[in-house]
Amino acid sequence: MSHKHIETEAIRTQLERSQYLEHTSPLYLTSSFVFEDAEDMRASFTEEKERNIYSRFTNPNTSEFVAKMCKMEGAEDGYAFATGMAAVFSTLAALLNSGDHIVSAQSVFGSTHTLFTKFLPKWNITTSYFKVDEVDKIESLITPNTKILYAESPTNPAVDILDLELLGNIAKKHNLILVIDNCFATPYLQQPIKFGADLVIHSATKLIDGQGRVLGGVTVGRADLVREIYLFSRNTGPALSPFNAWTLSKSLETLTVRVDRHCENALKVAEFLEGHGKVNWVKYPFLKSHPQYKVAIKQMSQGGSIVAFEVKGGVEAGRKFLDAIKMCSLSANLGDTRSIVTHPASTTHSKLSEADRLEVSITDGLVRVSVGLENVHDIINDLNQALEA
């Protein structure tokens, strides 16, 4: 059968159907699976047979979720995790040895940054960073021990864009494994494997669930690398639960329509903010004023759900703005149906010095809006009254 479109794959990929011929996939809430006899059990454990043994290894619900993600990302294989961070950690832990080195973009998700700086060094794995506007320096950071090139695009929280094709070429030239956290874009807007990524990671907690209900993560990509990640994970236990996998597989069925509306609303919010007198600047990948606009339109089909902007007046103005918000939520999640507003300088990044914050493009007045699916006029009205307050 010919390759179907991403919307269809997300809906029509169904691996299992029980004797009841249910229309949507059933939930397989079982920790283990039974064997026919001693020979079946022997063959299953030696992997001569591909079948479910124990839900820490595989489960029909997690397999269906992974199969959908692979089709949508154009990947050979994958493994699903309990959270996005379990996916990031297990992927790196499975592939790296003591003495190995990572070259990473400086602007990465907070916990990923903490993993690189605080925990991986315990196993003698070190990381060097490049700034998003200094990609010409990447090659000078590569050493004989460098094994992984790591980045997110768009970045959190400043929505900077990294050129995936450029990263793909560097990784190929230096024989590095290119790992891209594609959480902000989703496979609907951007497929990093097309640009040379070897592995793509998602926090499924964000737009993939998209309704603020469950945590989840997934890594998809080259089959030989996924095999290593699978063997590590089946023995260390970060697996996604069947219930969350079932939820996330259902969520994928509506991903494209949800993300279309997220992007439509976010672009309108960005345009509104750009014209507002109390705002210094706005960053949204599909605004012409975005510093990497040309790269964004090359590799993404729409701009995503996150808008970053700076309120005039620094930290105090940022805090005041947050206090004046009436409808949007003050919450740590993103990619939800509900619009969410955060002020990184006084919350998630408050422990960093102002200089360190600037290193990752977080100015004191920076506000991040995860634009939701409410009527866009209501979102804009809320932001507007908070700016005027």
Closer by beta carbon to ligand PLP, 206 or else 349: 206
- In 3-state terms, what secondary structure has residue 204? coil
Helix axes 255-274, 376-388, angle to 10 degrees: 30
Least Å distance, CB 335 to ligand PLP, is 8
Closer by beta carbon to ligand PLP, 53 or else 229: 229
Least Å distance, CB 88 to ligand PLP, is 6
Least Å distance, CB 151 to ligand PLP, is 11
Closer by beta carbon to ligand PLP, 63 or else 370: 370
Least Å distance, CB 344 to ligand PLP, is 12
What distance, in Å, lies between the first and last C-alpha atoms of the chain? 58
- Joined together, the tokens standing for residue 253 give 């069925």
Closer by beta carbon to ligand PLP, 6 or else 204: 204
- Joined together, the tokens standing for residue 343 give 């002020």
Closer by beta carbon to ligand PLP, 80 or else 183: 183
14 φ/ψ angles, rounded to the nearest 5 degrees: -135, 115
Tell the residue number behind the tokens 């997300």, with chain if given.
10
CB closest to ligand PLP, residue no: 84
Closer by beta carbon to ligand PLP, 308 or else 317: 308
- As a three-state string, the secondary structure of 249-304 is HHHHHCHHHHHHHHHHHHHHHHHHHHCCCCEEEEECCCCCCCCCHHHHHHHCCCCC
Dihedral angle of Cα 203, 207, 213, 219, to the nearest 10 degrees: -30
CA nearest neighbour of 157 among 341, 14, 344: 344
Least Å distance, CB 251 to ligand PLP, is 13
Closer by beta carbon to ligand PLP, 59 or else 186: 186
H or E element that contains 101: strand 101-105
- In 3-state terms, what secondary structure has residue 305? coil
Residues found near ligand PLP in the complex (CB under 6 A): 83-85, 109, 152, 156, 181, 183, 203, 205-206, 215, 217
Least Å distance, CB 185 to ligand PLP, is 10
- Joined together, the tokens standing for residue 82 give 């309990």
Least Å distance, CB 205 to ligand PLP, is 4
CB 184 within 8 A of CB 200: no
H or E element that contains 252: helix 242-253
